[in-house]
Every structure is written in structure tokens, then in C-alpha cells.
């Protein structure tokens, strides 16, 4: 009889500890890092892909006027770590196809490297060069060429 009382007390005590541990675990989970805010993928996509970085002729350095925009993009990417962005380097039609392909790569890499320095994980970024193959504007002249010397952004994964 004494062993039944002891067994009952041990069982009740064990259940009480298990329930208490379950509650403690739940409280720990509630304190875990907050999830990224719920925002539609369409809104994030629009926010990131509307941005364009333009370059001077035959250059691939990032102008100061684009640094705040890139900081905003970096902040968004760090907030949503599942998003992967493709940085596409583009050139105007002047120069050989090979030269423009390489210049487009350097332009995309310049933005990639800058985003890495801003704390964006490399897994969230990829680069490609389209050289002169995907102009934003058709025609000739500085106004048209200036629109084609750019990096633009595409969402590859959410």
C-alpha cells in the first residue's frame, strides 16, 4: 500500500514537472527572434526591382547618389533572408560585344561587392552580364546610351 502511494506521488510529481517544462519551453519559443514582417511578395518585388543603378561611360564605380538606395535594398534583403536577387549588368552599344560583356560583369560585381559590405549574405545575391544585348532604350546618342549603362535587379527566389 505504501508503494502505491509512493508511485502515485511520483507519477503526479512527474506529470507536474513535465507540464511545467512544457510551459517553460513554450515561453522560450515565444521569446525567440521575431519573424520577418508579413509583406506581400509583390510589394517586396516592386520595392527591389524598381531600382536601377546607372553608370558613366566606360565606368563601373557606384556613384554616391545610389548609396542610400542600395542601403535600403540591403536592409530589405537582410530582413527577408529567403529572397535572392539577380544583379544584371548592362552596357550601351559602343565597344565590342566581348568588351561590353566584361564591362557589364564588372558593373554587376561592383554592386554585388557593395551589398556584401552592407551586410547582405552572398547567398542572397547573384550576378549576370547582358553586355549590350538588353538595352533599356533603342537608338543612338548620349541620352539613349545613358539609359543602357545600368544595373537592374530581378527577384530569383522568395
Does one domain contain both 141 and 66? yes
Does one domain contain both 22 and 77? no
C-alpha cell recorded at residue 38: 508579413
Higher-pLDDT residue of 91 and 40 is: 91
Instruction: Kindly report which listed range (28-42, 49-63, 71-85, 90-104) carries the lowest average pLDDT score.
Output: 28-42
Does one domain contain both 51 and 125? yes
Return d(Cα 33, Cα 146) in angstroms, integer. Answer: 44
Residue 132's domain spans which residues? 41-157
Return d(Cα 86, Cα 125) in angstroms, integer. Answer: 6
| Number of folded domains that form the chain | 2
pLDDT band of 28, cuts 50, 70, 90: very low
Q: Give bridge partners of residue 52 from the DSSP assignment.
A: 152
The pTM of this model reads 0.74
Look at residue 10 and tell me whether its pLDDT is greater than 90: no
Does one domain contain both 142 and 75? yes
Instruction: Find the mean pLDDT for residues 11-38.
Output: 46
Does one domain contain both 65 and 111? yes
Return the half-sphere exposure (C-beta side, CA atoms, 13 A cut-off) of residue 149.
22
Does one domain contain both 91 and 17? no
Amino acid at each position: 500500500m505504501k508503494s502505491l502511494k509512493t508511485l502515485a506521488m511520483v507519477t503526479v510529481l512527474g506529470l507536474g514537472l513535465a507540464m511545467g517544462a512544457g510551459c517553460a519551453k513554450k515561453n522560450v519559443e515565444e521569446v525567440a527572434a521575431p519573424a520577418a514582417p508579413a509583406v506581400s511578395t509583390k510589394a517586396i518585388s516592386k520595392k527591389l526591382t524598381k531600382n536601377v543603378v546607372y553608370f558613366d561611360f566606360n565606368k563601373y564605380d557606384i556613384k554616391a547618389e545610389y548609396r542610400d538606395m542600395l542601403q535600403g535594398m540591403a536592409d530589405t534583403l537582410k530582413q527577408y533572408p529567403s529572397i535572392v536577387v539577380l544583379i544584371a549588368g548592362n552596357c550601351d552599344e559602343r565597344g565590342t560585344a566581348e568588351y561590353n560583356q566584361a564591362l557589364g560583369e564588372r558593373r554587376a560585381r561592383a554592386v554585388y561587392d557593395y551589398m556584401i559590405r552592407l551586410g547582405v549574405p552572398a547567398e542572397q545575391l547573384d550576378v549576370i552580364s547582358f553586355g549590350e544585348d538588353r538595352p533599356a532604350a533603342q537608338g543612338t546618342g548620349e541620352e539613349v546610351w545613358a539609359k543602357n549603362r545600368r544595373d537592374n535587379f530581378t527577384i530569383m527566389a522568395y
